[in-house]
Structure 1
Amino acid sequence: MPLSMFWSKSFLLSRLFLWLMFICNLLGTIYGYIWYGNQIEDTINSHPLWQVVFVPDSPTASLFFTITLLYWLFPPQSTSRFVNGARMIIEGLAVVTSIKYGIWAVSMIVAGNMQGDPLQWEHWMLMASHGAMAIEVLLYARFMKAGVWAAVLGTLWLLLNDTVDYTYDVFPWLSDSLMDDLTAVKWFTYSLTIFSFIVGGLALRARKQT
């Protein structure tokens, strides 16, 4: 069996594999929101309520991709502009946010470890799951309906998220060893947004129509 089969359209879009991907991403999304539970509670108690939307970054990215998987499992019967537009926006969000936060989480764990934070089993699990977020959207981008304009909208959301995070201090909690590098983390985060747009936009531009 050739290895190329595992990233072929027939394999990736088979209903069995789509269901497996959906279940894994749904469980990961739920776990992600639970992981952010303390920060969400703290934000609700000490910040304006509207800011809580910008707290759970990775699980929201995973949620966008989980919804995207539903489009393949249950293709919309309507061909209206609203339905198609909503799908493309969600797909665009899924691509750029998953690339960004997948790479960001791995980078922060590695950076913390380089400054003395010991790696626990949770860190290895988080690096594997977040790395998978970036890889899976790149594998599936070629089958999406979204175009580059959807990636632009997704990037605007990321830039807004970055600005709220570092203006109002609702960025994902960092290890103590990284707090003295907060300015560097901030600009790395903004740079990663642009990188995610470039990579995600190229992946969507090269997509194959389903």
Structure 2
Amino acid sequence: MGLPISWFWSRSFLLNRLFLWLMFICNFLGTVYGYIWYGNQIEDTLSNHPLWQIVFVPDSPTASLFFTITLLYWLFPPRGNSKFVNGARMIIEGLAVVTSIKYGIWAVSMIVAGSMQGDPLHWEHWMLMCSHSAMAIEVLLYARFMKARVGAAVIGTLWLLLNDTVDYTYDVFPWLSDSLMDNLTQVKWFTYSLTIFSFIVGGLALKAKKQT
């Protein structure tokens, strides 16, 4: 008999070192690609906005970066029992969960919303929808194995709320298609609402975690 389908989201499969390395490579490359994708907006922000706002520009690749670092904790577990190291790990994991859920869903939603208003869908849009959907799915699969607790998700959510506020106060939100710029107010409130949704879902996922 073959392996049951549930094995593919079991601890044995997801925390297997070979699979962790595959996940790390995919997320690392996706993170690099994401920062390259934001290249023009980063340059524009550096030219036309205060330097401190730059950290709020590349949303999705930063979320992917948090999860990439999280994977390193499983590949190379920290030695000892340092409160600082454990605290930093839990905060990064909390950030990885809520930001990946949010921006995974947000990017897909914006592409779909744009297409509904007449924007043509190219292969890049399909690639982005697949990769961003994977961002949200993978953290939900791995959340139960993380050390982070709901408190770390709260910290991640506070970061997201700050990011949302900076984005829509200083116009450093991810560039939208022209068709969606006419609905910027709706996009703004959808983004804030998605932050709260990501906290709820991410918090529940962390509460369901198992001992590793």
TM range (shorter): over 0.9
Taking the aligned partners of 2:102 and 2:211, their CA distance within structure 1 comes to: 24
Two-structure CA RMSD over aligned residues (Å) = 0.3
Taking the aligned partners of 1:79 and 1:12, their CA distance within structure 2 comes to: 24
Taking the aligned partners of 2:80 and 2:165, their CA distance within structure 1 comes to: 36
* Pairs within 5 Å for 1:27-66: 27-66=29-68
Which residue among 68, 71, 91 is the counterpart of 1:69?
A: 71
Corresponding residue for residue 108 of structure 2: 106
Amino acid at match of 2:103: Y
Taking the aligned partners of 2:8 and 2:22, their CA distance within structure 1 comes to: 14
Which residue among 119, 122, 138 is the counterpart of 1:120?
A: 122
Amino acid at match of 1:7: W
Kindly state the Cα deviation for residue 78 of structure 1 after the two structures are TM-superposed. Answer: 2.5
Kindly state the Cα deviation for residue 178 of structure 1 after the two structures are TM-superposed. Answer: 0.2
Q: Which moved more, 1:90-99 or 1:200-209?
A: 200-209
TM-score (structure 2 length as normaliser): 0.99
Indicate the percent of aligned positions where both proteins have the same amino acid: 88
Taking the aligned partners of 1:33 and 1:20, their CA distance within structure 2 comes to: 20
Residues 137-191 of structure 1, C-alpha deviation per residue, up to 9 Å, x if partnerless? 0000000000000000000000000000000000000000000000000000000
Taking the aligned partners of 2:202 and 2:6, their CA distance within structure 1 comes to: 22
Consecutive unaligned residues of structure 2, counting only runs of 5 or more, are: none
Amino acid at match of 1:168: Y
The number of aligned residues is 210
Taking the aligned partners of 1:104 and 1:209, their CA distance within structure 2 comes to: 31
* Pairs within 5 Å for 1:81-96: 81-96=83-98
Corresponding residue for residue 190 of structure 1: 192
Residues 60-79 of structure 1, C-alpha deviation per residue, up to 9 Å, x if partnerless? 00000000000000000021
TM-score (structure 1 length as normaliser): 1.00
Consecutive unaligned residues of structure 1, counting only runs of 5 or more, are: none
Corresponding residue for residue 12 of structure 1: 14
Taking the aligned partners of 1:97 and 1:90, their CA distance within structure 2 comes to: 10
Kindly state the Cα deviation for residue 122 of structure 1 after the two structures are TM-superposed. Answer: 0.1
Amino acid at match of 2:74: W
Taking the aligned partners of 2:126 and 2:60, their CA distance within structure 1 comes to: 16
Taking the aligned partners of 2:123 and 2:160, their CA distance within structure 1 comes to: 29
**1:24 correspondence with 2:12:** no
